[in-house]
Amino acid sequence: MGRFNQQVAIVTGAASGIGRATALRLASEGAVLALVDHAEDGLEATANALPAETERLLLAMDISDETRVRSLVEDVVQRWGRVDVLCNNAGIAGSHPVITEQDQEEWQHLLNVNLVGTMLLIKHVAPHMQSRGRGSIVNTASVAGIRSGAGGNAYSASKAGVISLTQTAACDLGADNVRVNAVCPGLIETGMTQPIFDYARSREKEHKLGARCELRRYGNADEIAAAITFLASDDASYITGQALPVDGGNTASLNMPGMKV
> Which one is predicted more confidently, 121 or 200?
121
Q: Is 2 exposed, middle or buried (0-12, 13-18, 19+ CB in 10 A)?
A: middle
One of 3.90.180.10, 3.40.50.720, 3.90.1640.10, 3.40.630.30 is the CATH number of 8-187+220-249, namely 3.40.50.720
Work out the average pLDDT over 126-143.
97
238 an active-site residue?
Answer: no
Q: Residue 196: its pLDDT value, please?
A: 64
Amino acid sitting at position 87: C
| pLDDT of residue 205 exceeding 80 | no
Q: Which of 132, 133, 155, 135 is nearest to 143 (CA)?
A: 155
Query: Within its chain, how far is the Cα of 117 from the centroid?
Result: 12
Domain boundaries of the chain, sorted by first residue? 8-187+220-249
Q: Residue 163: its pLDDT value, please?
A: 98
Count Cα atoms within 13 angstroms, Cβ side, for 238. 0
Q: Phi and psi at residue 74, in whole multiples of 5°?
A: -60, -40
| pLDDT of residue 122 exceeding 80 | yes
> Which one is predicted more confidently, 252 or 171?
171
Work out the average pLDDT over 33-62.
96
Q: Residue 83: its pLDDT value, please?
A: 98
Q: Is 163 exposed, middle or buried (0-12, 13-18, 19+ CB in 10 A)?
A: middle
Work out the average pLDDT over 196-212.
62
Name the average pLDDT for the chain: 91
Tell me what percent of the residues of the chain surpass a pLDDT of 70. 88
Contacting residues for 143 by C-beta, under 8 A, at least 6 apart: 150, 184, 185, 186, 245, 247, 250, 251
From 155, 199, 218, 238, active-site residue: 155
**DSSP element (H, E) containing 207:** none
